[in-house]
A and B are shown apart, each in its own frame.
Chain A
């Protein structure tokens, strides 16, 4: 859909945007897991 060449995110440790998106999904999954554990521990 986008004809522009894919520019680098310019963030240390990430060469592509796909890498940034995977990192965001990873952080999200970790957040949910920690919240679930938190709720389970403090009932």
Chain B
């Protein structure tokens, strides 16, 4: 980054902050702080729903995921359009009709206070853990730009987001995200153009031959993470949970002007989500080809971490790995060019032989990258060896034109803050409405006190997120880690809502204990697979399994327990 980038960056950040503050200067009631402005239009809701889901983590992490594993991750979104139709047709009218603040208030009305508390607690636990993961996004940007250790940038961005959220509220989140998304889209398009300009003519065929473009896999294999089936069924239940029961999403259409706006906002996402995610994963796959032909491609993309250890006593070992990788990288280029020539020469035998050589050269390069990660772990067992989240940010900083770099870094950072704000806002709201008010029912009508408490809870969750991020070292790519955590905690919650909507005869106690048993079972299935790979199933499958399990447990418990009148709570 040069001086132009720094001026653009600072100007953009200050502009966003000033605009958000000016537009939300009258946000002082609980209703507006927690539900957002009722004048919100469907376009804003649609963009806002997309922005919280497709936030900086998506832009930062998804190209890296495709760089490393290809575009198969796109199948994760196959269930989303169908889930959004169900949310529009069933979930949304119920929430709107009841006029609730949070999704879990409905559980209190339908079942009892303990089920409402369970629903809210599952959400808080899951979202709390996720907020400890999402904080990595702005921290990674800062760490890469400034060269600071990640731990320091986690604390810095965490404190910044707490201030941003507590002083803003959800209206500010909606307002600023719209503009940030527009600039990020512009930046992504610029990145795509820059990549395309530098790509060789057969780039898509090279990516395809190296296994990066397998978008759809119809193999009925439970162990594979991403197949058409796991994406359709697992992704359907995952999206249904996310959009239908997660307060960070539900609060957005509860806040819309009318049912129509909320529905259109969701349908907007149902249509554009897969094409949008496809363009992002394609960018990642093209980045892979770009770096195959780029001199000086790093063996490890988190250069802050790499250089820190490279300067230590093991410098010779690090240098040897770099040299080995540079040689393998050059060899890969030779093998790819030979394959392209054979392919264009329409010689099937030569094409097959050069393809084998090209694939072998790719395997060698991958093995050296693994060696580099092992070396990092050997010198520092706490070193973060997952570098795919650094691929796109490295590209931005080294390849885009000056000025655009500053603008893109600013909006990506601001978008990450906004996304975190939406998340913390939902955590603060649910903690206040569903937990604190439950224990202090007399304070429910004191609006000022409610707002004050919501802000305190928001700040507390912010500190929890910082603490979690500092303690836990992510073994997965950020976007996968988020989906895994969601797939562990969502199924029981979705099961409770399914029983609430569709099975009238089941009461609060049956569904409560059914959900508790389901949560324990889902956690056990995940942990068994984690520690014994022979029993591992793709994490997306946890969603339908857990949801069906919760419904069946609840029905079973309702049948065996004697019928009794369930208490009604609000």
Contacts and interface: CB of A to CB of B under 8 A. Distances in A.
A7 B259 contact: yes
Contact of B81 (A9, A11, A24): A24
Count class of interface residues, chain B: 35 or more
Interface in A1-43: 1-4, 7-11, 17, 20-21, 23-25, 27-28, 31-32, 35-36, 38-39, 41-43
- Tell me whether chain A's interface is mostly helix, strand or loop, or mixed: helix
Given A1-B90, A1-B94, A10-B260, A38 B215 contact: yes
A11 B94 contact: no
Nearest to A18: B89
B264 A9 contact: yes
A11 B97 CA distance: 23
B84 A24 contact: yes
Given A7-B260, A9-B263, A10-B260, A27 B81 contact: yes
Which of A8, A11, A25, A28: most chain B CB closer than 10 A? Answer: A28
B378 to A, nearest CB: 38
Q: Tell me the interface secondary structure of chain B in the complex.
A: helix
A21 B85 contact: yes
Contacts of B205: 42
A21 B93 CA distance: 15
Contacts of B278: 31, 35
B21 interface: no
A23 B88 CA distance: 14
B88 A21 contact: yes
Nearest to A36: B216
A35 B275 CA distance: 10
Nearest to A41: B208
Contacts of B81: 24-25, 27-28
A32 B78 contact: yes
B274 interface: yes
Interface in B75-96: 78, 81-82, 84-85, 88-90, 93-94
B209 interface: yes
A24 to B, nearest CB: 5
B89 A17 contact: yes
Interface of A: 1-4, 7-11, 17, 20-21, 23-25, 27-28, 31-32, 35-36, 38-39, 41-43
Given A3-B97, A24-B85, 10 more contacts: A1-B93, A1-B501, A7-B260, A8-B260, A9-B263, A21-B88, A24-B271, A36-B215, A38-B215, A42-B204
